[in-house]
Amino acid sequence: MLRFILRRLGASIGILFAASLLLYVLVINSGDPLAELRESNAENRETLMQQRITFMNLDMPWYQRYWTWLVGVGKCFALQCDLGTSRQGVDVGALLSLAASSTLRLVLLATVLAAILGIAIGVLTAVRQYSGLDYGVTFITFLFFSLPVFWAAVLLKEYLAIGYNDWMRDPAFSPLQIAAIALLVGFLMQIFLAGPLKRRIITFAVAAGFVAVVIPYLTWLNFFRFPQLGFGGVLVLGLGVALSGTAMTVGLRNTKVLYPALATVALGAVVYYLAFGVLENPNWFVLVGGGILAVLIPALLGKYMGAHLRGPAMGVSVATGLVMAGLTTLDHIFRAWPGFLLLKPRPIATIGSQTPNFAGTFWEDFLDKGTQLLLPTILLAIISLASYSRYTRSSMLEVGQQDYIRTARSKGLSERTVIFRHAFRNAMIPIATIAAFDFAGLIGGAVITESVFGWKGMGELFRTGLLQVDPAPVMAFFLVTGTAAVVFNMLADIFYAILDPRIRV
């Protein structure tokens, strides 16, 4: 495996070199970087032209300019990158740093959400092949995939930003809206849970009735302006994750997995009160440290309490710990929402990555950046969702036809065990490739999405450099995206070996 990785690394470096040379030649021959200055009537035109020539090294032959850029990139190994200057004289390294941080903030969340939801939907539709749920999900995912990005962005701005902001001035539902939402939720739930006709009718009635009661109650509480989760909500939802995670893996009767998950819930309940003061106005070090502890401590509980089932016990406990930590964080975000609305009465923004000159507490600043992130994240996630769900579905169906799956069923193993412990892991091998390339591609920036939502990210950096015939920003863009493509492709290969040990040989 090490020899394979070294060979791939050597080939990748050669590919990056050839591609960078080709891209550089194409960019510098795509136009004249001095065009608008040549047509200018300004008195200092010659001075401005000379400045640009100096900034862009236009007095050098193209191969010398490329070599200068290549030497500057080579200095990155000594942590002294020199990516040149733009035609305005701005350091491209600084531009790249700002653009990369903006894009990573955007695409990381979108990719993770699309992967988690897409894989879950793919597994569900594979298990329920040719059912109403399967056909419905297939239609919706391909509808999202086929939407023109700019048109979908306009719809999101109109209904999830402008419409929502207007509604937030006096959040309320009419009886007709409540009835429509209740019927829709009931319809979707009976499709999702399936079963015989009698069970579907009961599911529909219970879900619709629940929604019809909850929405007026939340409106009466003024929940949408003063949301609250509280200790009870965190505890109940944490118990739900512990119980459902145990049921999906080994069954509720197996106490070797159930007890460490319940111990994690109890520990999370204690931490909720102990950390309350610290989380009122924390910093990122506190949150990251808490997240690490939310993984390590449940993992230790699962390892030492799980005995021969330490693997499933650790997985369920860690999932429960992360959810409890997330719910505790969400509770503090809810508490900051009323103050955030006082600072920003129209919370969902339609352009930009943050509100200029916004001054608030840590959570209010977090909400500001989060609401700015909401629309482009939803757009990128729903477009990527179809790929993950369809590939997962087809991979699960293909694995389901293998001999070892039929053998597992013939031995009397439960369908839950067959799906999650035998089929799912092998079905993830093709998905690793898609996830790696999807994330590497999105790091390059969604040019249209960033343009529509006014994000100054990697896509905007590339577009601006190309329009201005400025190779430095374009090559900086290539340096990040090309390297990301190579690295994530290699990580996909390594992930294959983790999922399937046979690949190591």
Q: DSSP letters along 211-237, please?
A: HHHHHHHHHHTTTTTS---HHHHHHHH
Residue pLDDT, tens place only, 427-452: 877 777 777 777 766 666 567 787 88
Can you tell me the distance from the alpha carbon of 293 to that of 329, in angstroms, rounded to the nearest whole number?
14
Q: What are the residue ranges of helices labelled H in 31-174? A: 35-38, 45-56, 62-74, 92-127, 132-146, 149-156, 163-168
Choose the weakest-confidence range: 104-108, 363-367, 500-504: 500-504
Of residues 139, 16, 106, 115, the one with CA closest to residue 434: 115
Can you tell me the distance from the alpha carbon of 140 to that of 390, in angstroms, rounded to the nearest whole number?
12
CA diameter of the chain = 88
Residue pLDDT, tens place only, 122-163: 888 888 888 878 888 888 888 887 888 888 888 889 988 999
Q: What's the token pair of residue 4?
A: 């394979």
pLDDT at position 441 is 66
Give me the mean pLDDT over the 42-60 stretch: 83
Paired with 22 in beta bridges are: none
Give me the mean pLDDT over the 71-79 stretch: 77
Look at 6 and 497; give whichever has higher pLDDT: 6
Q: What's the token pair of residue 138?
A: 């297939």
Can you tell me the distance from the alpha carbon of 343 to that of 431, in angstroms, rounded to the nearest whole number?
43
- 85-105 in b/e form (b: 16+ CB < 10 A) is bbbeeeebbebbeebbebbbb
Q: DSSP letters along 344-408, please?
A: -SS-S-SSSSS-TT----HHHHHHHHHHHHHHHHHHHHHHHHHHHHHHHHHHHHHHHTSHHHHHH
The burial class, CB within 10 Å (0-12 / 13-18 / 19+), for 243 is middle
Residue pLDDT, tens place only, 315-361: 899 999 999 999 999 999 999 999 999 989 889 988 877 788 888 88
Residue pLDDT, tens place only, 188-233: 888 887 778 888 899 999 999 999 999 999 999 899 999 988 899 9
pLDDT at position 504 is 57
Distant-in-sequence, close-in-space partners of 185: CB < 8 Å, separation ≥ 6: 207, 208, 211
Look at 366 and 5; give whichever has higher pLDDT: 366
